Structure 1
Amino acid sequence: MSWTALGSALERTLGLIVLTYIGALALGIVLAVFRISPVPPLRAAATAYVTIFRNVPLLVLLVLFTFGLPNVGLLIPLFYNAALAMALYWAAFICEVVRSGVRTVPRGQIEAARALGLTFGQSLTRVVLPQALRSMVQPLANIFIGSALSTALAAAAGVTELTFWYQQQANLGGQPLTAFAVVTAIYVAITLTAGLVAGRVERKVAILR
Structure 2
Amino acid sequence: MAAPDRTDRRRVRTRAALMRAGQALFAHRSVDAVSIDDIVAAADVAKGSFYNHFPDKEALAQALGEEVRRGVEQLAAEVNAGLADPAERVARALCGFVRQAAAEPERARAMQRLFPAAAVPDAPMKRGVRADIAAGLKAGRFTGLSQDAAILTAVGLVQIAVARAAGPEGGAPERLGRELAFALLRGLGVEPSEAETLAARAAADLLGKGAER
TM > 0.5 fold call: no
- Considering Cα pairs closer than 8 Å and 6+ residues apart, tell me whether 1 or 2 has the greater RCO: 1
Q: TM-score, normalised by structure 2?
A: 0.33
